[in-house]
């Protein structure tokens, strides 16, 4: 399992970070990446059971590869949500949460909840529920890090070079 992914919008882009350990009981393996580039303008970070993370990444990557039209970050977010919700409906839960980040080609009013035209962050939890915000987190970070990010206005931050 893995526990934490954090994402937030800042002035010049989006930050997505995760822990790099996978664990099972007392066994821990360091250096496991759970952030994947799906397209040129979309990355996704997963937390949860590693087998479910690998299954979901493989399934979404295959769907993207098969589709002749490019899929934007909102479409990938919706695809992940539908896959997770379908598995929940079949009583075969995926123990995974995903944060989808990307750059939108144009502002979509339906999904325009991040306020910044061009920047998108969405979350899908293990039940298939989804939401959008400018600062998001999964696992223990949703209790420890997210309140701090929400207290500050991250959209005005700049990163040191």
Tell which residue, 50, 25, 136, has the closest CA to residue 36.
50
Residue 118 lies in a domain: yes
Residue 126 lies in a domain: yes
Whichever domain contains 151, its CATH number is 3.60.20.10
- Number of domains the chain contains: 1
Residue 34 near residue 40, CB atoms below 8 Å: no
Question: Please, what is the average pLDDT of the chain?
Answer: 88
What is the 8-class DSSP label of residue 134?
S
Least confident of 18-22, 32-36, 114-118, 148-152: 114-118
pTM for this one? 0.86
Q: Which domain holds residue 37?
A: 5-156
Tell which residue, 125, 83, 77, has the closest CA to residue 104.
77
Strand partners for 57: none
Which tens digit of pLDDT belongs to each residue from 87-141?
999 999 999 999 999 987 665 555 544 444 578 999 999 999 999 998 999 988 8
Residue 161 lies in a domain: no
Element containing residue 54 per DSSP (H, E) = helix 50-66
Residue 36 lies in a domain: yes
Tell which residue, 141, 22, 38, has the closest CA to residue 80.
38
**Which tokens hold the place of 92?**
């075969």
């Amino acid at each position: 399992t893995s526990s934490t992914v954090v994402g937030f919008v800042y002035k010049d882009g989006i930050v997505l970070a995760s822990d790099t350990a996978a664990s099972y009981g007392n066994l821990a393996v360091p250096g496991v990446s759970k952030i994947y580039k799906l397209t040129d303008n979309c990355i996704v970070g997963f937390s949860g059971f590693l087998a479910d993370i690998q299954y979901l990444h493989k399934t979404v990557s295959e769907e993207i590869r098969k589709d002749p039209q490019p899929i934007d970050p909102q479409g990938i977010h919706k695809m992940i949500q539908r896959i997770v919700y379908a598995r929940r409906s079949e009583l075969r839960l995926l123990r995974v949460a995903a944060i989808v980040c990307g750059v939108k080609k144009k502002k979509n009013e339906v999904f325009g909840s991040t306020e910044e035209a061009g920047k998108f962050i969405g979350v899908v939890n293990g039940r298939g529920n989804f939401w959008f915000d400018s600062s998001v987190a999964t696992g223990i970070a949703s209790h420890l890090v997210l309140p701090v990010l929400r207290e500050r206005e991250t959209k005005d931050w700049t990163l040191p070079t």
